[in-house]
Structure 1
């Protein structure tokens, strides 16, 4: 909790040890300038000038702290913040109170009090300005007996004593003080026009006493804009600047924050931010986050306050979204929300355009202009192009991204550009209808050998109804599952495969499904293997297991099954494979080429001899449509037909032989194959080399297979 509060704090510093921008050197120079001001002869106005949020208040804190510690005999420092006062009368009295508070008690005599109040009252009543009751002035200035002081003040104001004489009398009284006064006035850039003019008038008329100096702090651009709106400037920037130059004698421009310092501040905030979640953020997300923050896209993160304000926004929402969205995308969208809230709302409204690669058009028929959209949402023209680049990086496949670098490239599962996750970035959590990672993890964690029926049913329902939402989350959870949890998950995936197969969908074309299924199969514990074999009763589910084995073979990963529960499971289910293959022997092998892969996986599990016996018996029985020539042709190209029919149909040649992936002699005995095809092998030609990429009848593919087989035989043991 302390870390959260520290990250959200925006208080100026006052201790040198808290100075992360190395402003101590500049603060020392400001103090030196102040020390060199005339001792008693005049009054000087200095102005510390810097952009909003650049650290002016912190620098004032360093300066005043040093003066109070090391220059207290020479300087008396008093702070006056006009922004804290709610009216012009209150502002004026607050100013009097600040001046008076700097006068030591031993100098607050009746004469000094009457003279100070008389001078102030005379100036403020000249020209029909404010008329302040004497008792109110006395109270504001903290004198002991306001009633008597007010009576004396009335006489003084009604006397023939001139304003100049009052000033000289007051300066003579103040000259006896051992210290000079420094009035520090912060937050001038937050005032309304009439308030700002009142402060300047007080400084110019009342406060310009010898030995009383002023240190102002403001954002010059803002102050000039406020002055421009006043009756004094009447809309003229030149008049506003001229007026300000008459008030300020010494301008002290705050040093700019160097890019290196900006990055150090950002890294410090990121360190605090990433310490908040109980579960650490992945290294990949952390690295991509730093790429974003160190890029040139977040142009407003250039001053201490804007950086802290931004990370305060991120920290406030982080517990709601961490591990539920992609952190770099969330930080990028938080930047838009913090500094350009109208554009953030516009992004939510334009979900379709952001997620589709087409170039949608406006109602006028013109293509979307994201720069114009940004500017209409209040983005300054100077930032529009950069901001569009940022949005294009968040949504790299959408209509906005065509000409922008993808700074945030990474895993797509939880990114804002994923339609299944887009709403989370605006809902600040898991919206209704979605499945949260926490909920899914809780269900999977309860999958054990007994008592898991309800959770299993819930998992299968999610896979059935929210397949694309749940699958990436399951893939992320897989590494932390135990053997029995993997067993239950494998059963659920097999059931999903069976349902998809029945509807004509091939889930083996879905990379995440295939990869997750293979990982789960290789991780099933030996104790759970029998449990899974009993749960998978449908032939399609057994087919699913052996297709996974076949895919592991094709990717040279079958060793991952050695000695595992997955291998034990396949052995337990191997007796079901002949039943599955026999159901397909009424069709020719070119129609069911997947049977070859299934037979190959079967051979890997049980050995060659049972497969040899079954395949030979089928092809020699005369009761099936399987031919040895078709087996050779399918092993070379393994393609699907381009049109309905059998040998009259045409196939596209692919010279990446399946012979490189399937051991043909694991399916049928070598001697038997050569005996059956000896004459055709000798007659095979090299026509395949001449037809790469062509479309040819399947009989020609058989010739290609025979020729490839011929070459393979020559390479192993010569002509047979």
Structure 2
């Protein structure tokens, strides 16, 4: 996925190309800087805001200078590394002398370097800066081959600045090689240091054959001069600099080139393929918001660093256009981005903690944060305020920005949008919480690229079943020819789980749906979208392990006929009759084997059998009469009437509900012979209801 940027400028060449088309500009600047050895000194400024590529242009200028027939001596001075603002001039002069000695081994160069050292020392004397000996020590170590330099240093008090400066100028002219001095990062200095750099240039920038290139932000420099009581900052700068050159504007095409390169470095695949409409939405966000907020290469690199970090962890789990938008916010408004992280309910109307139910409507919760959000947005001012406000509305549609979001999603989760709590959680936490599932995991589960049984075991152990069903509905279209295998694996895993058993025994909840119902919903949707409905239904019903859900499928098919909507028929009449017969045999076998007794699904299967064939259900019951074991078995089959929110499953045996297939009087007489207290609470509840027809809860046999 490429490497992170460490804010290094470009250097030109095939491995680090000039994508902003500034090479011609740099060549012209290099020509202006390249003087004849006897030309008067020239100072040029390269001016641009922070992050717009001044150092990159300087590197191009150096490359151009190094290709000239007469190679100049290039002196790069970075005052940011000097440390003490009071010693900037001395530090610069020593570095200049060192560069002369290294670049040119002639006697003239040695003499010029020596004069520069003496000149540098005069600044210490003139300013009465203590510590002459350390300076002499430094000079001795660096220029130990300069012979009688110590003697000349001892006579410094006999010299004056102007006279020594003249000596330096004469010595430099004798070298007959132009000197180009480049001073970068001026706008990274403190105000005191920046002012000293200007004094430095003013003090030394009139040596023959020497040009200076100063790179800075003009606005910052003006503010520094104002702080140093310089009334007319522009005139002051113009006295020092003879040619002020602004950086070329970055064209839209140039910025597009940079973005395309960054996108290619992010991934070798299309990052917008995962979610429908993501590419179009990304283009919209790019031209509507990115181009108005990101104006320089430095901000662009920071954005893609953030985006790269996030993608490495959650690629494919959130739509790329939203991740791009969040990285845009993180780059241009850290305060808003942090507010989203710390207060997600202010943007989507929900907390991200599990099982957290907001009492108010999501839109009302978001609206309650309007003042706080507006305060954060207003801190930016100007056009940026409106742009950020509209961008937030684009990402989080519940924020009324007055700007209609592009391609708003009816199902935010299915489209990978962070306006859904699950996707926002992933985007902000940089991971998929164990109770959530990634899109890739679901896709691999459906396709069979991973072991479905192991996967479903993990789903259940990590409490991820709710998210599993949500994601399966999103990717149901992928099932196709895998529908039967997917469904049977789901049936086996959940029917064998303690969670399903507990779910069937739990209270009816107003804000949630039980696990069994969610499985049925998924079955309904998968079959609805299948082109091979008859084949899938027949295979499911033939398998005894699927019996509870087979009965539910037949119930849905019968309801289609009741509604008499031919477009919704899964099976024709002949096919339905065939499947009914298969189910009846399988259901009787399942009940005879007591396969689902421990799942609390026996009544469910029995009533499904009764719905399919009342005669066969009645015959099955009739064969159980005559023994106490048979009576208990009957109670197991008929003993669940429903569930409520008070105590969960209950039973209520009313005579009218059973007269068409059970002789309640005979059954009641058989129950009277039993010692009810010897049986489980569940069985006791059923037997009591058979006796008196009242409502009893199965968990404790308590009367309603």
Give the alignment's TM-score, normalised by structure 1: 0.66
Where does residue 432 of structure 2 map in the other structure?
430
Where does residue 119 of structure 2 map in the other structure?
119
Task: Classify the secondary structure of the residue corresponding to 1:537.
Answer: helix
CA drift of 1:348 comes to: 2.6
Task: Classify the secondary structure of the residue corresponding to 1:536.
Answer: helix
CA drift of 1:197 comes to: 1.8
Task: Classify the secondary structure of the residue corresponding to 1:266.
Answer: helix
CA drift of 1:189 comes to: 0.8
Deviations 1:389-410 (A, max 9, x none): 11111111x2x23512313634
- From 366, 369, 373, give the equivalent of 1:370: 373
Q: Does 1:11 align with 2:8?
A: yes
- From 351, 354, 368, give the equivalent of 2:347: 354
Aligned counterparts of 2:88 and 2:443: Cα–Cα separation in 1 = 60
Where does residue 642 of structure 2 map in the other structure?
none
Check the 8 A contact 2:76/2:182 in 1, yes or no: yes
CA drift of 1:66 comes to: 1.2
Deviations 1:19-53 (A, max 9, x none): 11111221222123224x57524222100111222
- Single out whichever of 125-134 and 191-200 deviates more from structure 2: 125-134
Deviations 1:507-560 (A, max 9, x none): 79999885444236848976991576423323752335527977999595879x
Give the alignment's TM-score, normalised by structure 2: 0.68
Aligned counterparts of 1:501 and 1:544: Cα–Cα separation in 2 = 24
Q: Does 1:303 align with 2:303?
A: no
Check the 8 A contact 1:110/1:149 in 2, yes or no: no
Task: Classify the secondary structure of the residue corresponding to 1:78.
Answer: strand
Check the 8 A contact 1:542/1:577 in 2, yes or no: no
Task: Classify the secondary structure of the residue corresponding to 1:391.
Answer: helix
CA drift of 1:439 comes to: 5.0
- Counting matched residue pairs gives 562
Superposition RMSD in Å: 4.7
- CA gap of 1:502–1:55, structure 2 versus 1, over 3 A, is same
Where does residue 319 of structure 2 map in the other structure?
326
Where does residue 383 of structure 1 map in the other structure?
384
Q: Does 1:541 align with 2:561?
A: no
CA drift of 1:296 comes to: 3.2
- CA gap of 1:476–1:62, structure 2 versus 1, over 3 A, is farther
- CA gap of 1:459–1:231, structure 2 versus 1, over 3 A, is closer
CA drift of 1:111 comes to: 4.6
- CA gap of 1:275–1:10, structure 2 versus 1, over 3 A, is farther
Where does residue 95 of structure 2 map in the other structure?
98
Check the 8 A contact 1:182/1:213 in 2, yes or no: yes
Where does residue 59 of structure 2 map in the other structure?
61
Check the 8 A contact 1:292/1:328 in 2, yes or no: yes
- Single out whichever of 298-307 and 130-139 deviates more from structure 2: 130-139
Aligned counterparts of 2:384 and 2:449: Cα–Cα separation in 1 = 52
Q: Where in structure 2 are the equivalents of 1:76-95 lying within 5 Å?
A: 76-88=73-85, 91-95=88-92
Where does residue 175 of structure 1 map in the other structure?
173
Deviations 1:155-181 (A, max 9, x none): 1x122x443222222222211112111
Deviations 1:282-319 (A, max 9, x none): 57323322322122355332212221221121012212
- CA gap of 1:279–1:206, structure 2 versus 1, over 3 A, is closer
Task: Classify the secondary structure of the residue corresponding to 2:331.
Answer: helix
- CA gap of 1:306–1:279, structure 2 versus 1, over 3 A, is closer
Where does residue 245 of structure 1 map in the other structure?
238
Aligned counterparts of 1:388 and 1:279: Cα–Cα separation in 2 = 24
CA drift of 1:196 comes to: 1.2
Task: Classify the secondary structure of the residue corresponding to 2:45.
Answer: strand
Where does residue 620 of structure 2 map in the other structure?
none
Check the 8 A contact 1:336/1:343 in 2, yes or no: yes
Q: Which runs of 5+ in 2 are unaligned?
A: 350-361, 588-607, 614-704
Where does residue 40 of structure 1 map in the other structure?
38
Deviations 1:553-582 (A, max 9, x none): 9595879x89xxxx98995346559999xx
Check the 8 A contact 1:412/1:418 in 2, yes or no: yes
Aligned counterparts of 1:392 and 1:327: Cα–Cα separation in 2 = 17
Q: Does 1:31 align with 2:30?
A: yes
Q: Does 1:418 align with 2:448?
A: no
- CA gap of 1:571–1:210, structure 2 versus 1, over 3 A, is farther
Aligned counterparts of 1:549 and 1:334: Cα–Cα separation in 2 = 49
Deviations 1:677-701 (A, max 9, x none): xxxxxxxxxxxxxxxxxxxxxxxxx
CA drift of 1:322 comes to: 0.9
CA drift of 1:412 comes to: 1.5
CA drift of 1:198 comes to: 1.9
Task: Classify the secondary structure of the residue corresponding to 1:48.
Answer: strand
Task: Classify the secondary structure of the residue corresponding to 1:105.
Answer: coil
Aligned counterparts of 1:152 and 1:206: Cα–Cα separation in 2 = 21
Q: Where in structure 2 are the equivalents of 1:285-684 lying within 5 Å?
A: 285-296=278-289, 299-356=292-349, 358-360=363-365, 368=371, 370-375=373-378, 378-396=379-397, 398=398, 400-407=399-406, 409-410=408-409, 412-413=412-413, 414-437=416-439, 440=442, 465-466=466-467, 469-472=470-473, 474-475=475-476, 478=479, 481=482, 483-489=484-490, 515-519=525-529, 522=532, 529=539, 533-538=543-548, 540-543=551-554, 546=557, 556=567, 571-573=578-580, 576=583
Aligned counterparts of 1:109 and 1:579: Cα–Cα separation in 2 = 104
- CA gap of 1:81–1:458, structure 2 versus 1, over 3 A, is closer
Check the 8 A contact 2:541/2:583 in 1, yes or no: no
Check the 8 A contact 1:46/1:251 in 2, yes or no: yes
- CA gap of 1:553–1:327, structure 2 versus 1, over 3 A, is farther
CA drift of 1:424 comes to: 1.5
Where does residue 201 of structure 2 map in the other structure?
203
Check the 8 A contact 1:530/1:569 in 2, yes or no: no
Deviations 1:317-355 (A, max 9, x none): 212111111221111111112222221111233322322
Check the 8 A contact 1:517/1:548 in 2, yes or no: no
Deviations 1:591-618 (A, max 9, x none): xxxxxxx9xxx9xxxxxxx9xxxxxxxx
CA drift of 1:204 comes to: 1.3
Task: Classify the secondary structure of the residue corresponding to 2:74.
Answer: strand
Aligned counterparts of 2:258 and 2:109: Cα–Cα separation in 1 = 51
- CA gap of 1:14–1:154, structure 2 versus 1, over 3 A, is same
Task: Classify the secondary structure of the residue corresponding to 2:244.
Answer: strand
Aligned counterparts of 1:16 and 1:455: Cα–Cα separation in 2 = 50
- From 169, 186, 189, give the equivalent of 2:187: 189
Aligned counterparts of 1:148 and 1:480: Cα–Cα separation in 2 = 93
Aligned counterparts of 2:249 and 2:394: Cα–Cα separation in 1 = 29
Check the 8 A contact 1:329/1:408 in 2, yes or no: no
CA drift of 1:250 comes to: 0.7
Check the 8 A contact 1:360/1:367 in 2, yes or no: no
- Single out whichever of 471-480 and 307-316 deviates more from structure 2: 471-480
- From 257, 268, 280, give the equivalent of 2:261: 268
Check the 8 A contact 2:43/2:214 in 1, yes or no: yes
Aligned counterparts of 1:311 and 1:552: Cα–Cα separation in 2 = 56
- CA gap of 1:476–1:190, structure 2 versus 1, over 3 A, is farther
Task: Classify the secondary structure of the residue corresponding to 2:405.
Answer: coil
